Amino acid sequence: MAKIPLVDVHMHIYESRATGQYHKQSYEIWEYGARPPSVRFSSYSGDLGDAIHAITASGYDYGISVNLFGVELERGEAIAKLPGDLKGAERARAVAEIDATMPDRLRAFNRWACDVAGKTGRIIPFVAVDPWAMSPSHNVAHVEELADRHGARGIKLHPVVQRFTPNDPRMEPVYRACVERNLVVLSHSGAAQGTIQFAEPRAFADLARAYPDLKIVLAHLGGGSWRQTLELAQAFPALAFDCCEIIEWTGAPGAPTVEELGRLIRDIGAHRVMLGTDFPWYDLDRTMERVMDLPILSREEKEAILGANAIGLLGLA
């Protein structure tokens, strides 16, 4: 019997285990409400060694790294490292110097992600784009370089963390470049704390309408705003989705039950949904088991979610 393809389309890989642990501990998962006892977090910290071990131990063929770079996150971390006795004008100068380095920080972050992925043969890099970090033309030039010379197969967006809406005019040249180079856009989707809902599913309608040839993957099936997802999916049949995190949080107050999640995927079309884990938050083998345990879907549909759908979207061998 032929092996079932296994692809994790939503992994995060960090430069060190300490950095991974920092991000795991500082990222608040609030939109699903109170955590059910069934939610289990991974023990991995998320450096390259952890990622390779998790992929190999679970029998996966590929993992897609979709690391996040946000100017405000990076700025906050850098400022926190300034000497505590730095005050007044000296501190202001130091902060200004940090702000001026954001383009270089983003470039270095993405090149590192591509370089470590290229050494493995099993990790495929998506690179971060933040419209606040560089001008549209510089973002385009950077993405094109990474795609042409460093193996990038897509870009990762997190509108909530990065504080922009998907139809932001600054992103339009980037989207056009992605269409031209057949790059996938994988974006966080879900609720935001505050009045502006940057990434709820309906916020992507303008983008999907304006760029019908753009390959768009919405992470988390809409997260805490999952009840909007089916309407968007029906309006734009080319959209694809991953099921990371939401599948672990089924049964939480703001998440679907397992029956509702299975029905949502069936109604969207299982051929449009892919497995994602949000590693190192959740484990690859456990997420695979949860997909296979979903009700309503056929075994063939579940197996396609595990890998075949991603192989088709990304053109993987």
- Tens-digit pLDDT profile for residues 198-232: 999 999 999 999 999 999 999 999 999 999 999 99
| pLDDT number for residue 260 | 98
| Tally: H helices and E strands in the chain | 14, 8
A 10 A CB-CB count for 95 gives 15
SS3 of the chain: helix, strand, coil, percent, to 5: 50, 10, 40
pLDDT band for 82, please (50, 70, 90 cuts). Answer: confident
Question: Measured at the alpha carbon of residue 269, what is the angle toward residues 51 and 129, in degrees to the nearest 5?
Answer: 45
Contact of 277 with 283, CB cutoff 8 Å: yes
Domain total in the chain? 1
Residue 94 lies in a domain: no
Residue 92 lies in a domain: no
| pLDDT number for residue 144 | 98
Residue 36 lies in a domain: yes
Give the range of the structural domain holding residue 129, as residue numbers without chain letter.
Answer: 7-68+101-314
Residue 186 lies in a domain: yes
- Outline where DSSP puts E strands in the chain: 7-11, 62-65, 123-128, 154-157, 184-187, 215-218, 240-242, 273-274
pLDDT band for 314, please (50, 70, 90 cuts). Answer: confident
pLDDT band for 187, please (50, 70, 90 cuts). Answer: very high
Residue 274 lies in a domain: yes
Residue 85 lies in a domain: no
Whether the pLDDT of residue 309 is over 80: the answer is yes
Give the domain CATH number at 178.
3.20.20.140
pLDDT band for 86, please (50, 70, 90 cuts). Answer: confident
Whether the pLDDT of residue 1 is over 80: the answer is no
Residue 186: phi, psi to the nearest 5? -105, 120
State the average pLDDT for the chain. 95
pLDDT band for 94, please (50, 70, 90 cuts). Answer: confident
Residue 96 lies in a domain: no
- Tens-digit pLDDT profile for residues 242-289: 999 999 999 999 999 999 999 999 999 999 999 999 999 999 999 999
| pLDDT number for residue 317 | 66
Residue 14 lies in a domain: yes
Let me know if 280 is exposed, middle or buried by CB neighbors in 10 A (0-12, 13-18, 19+). buried
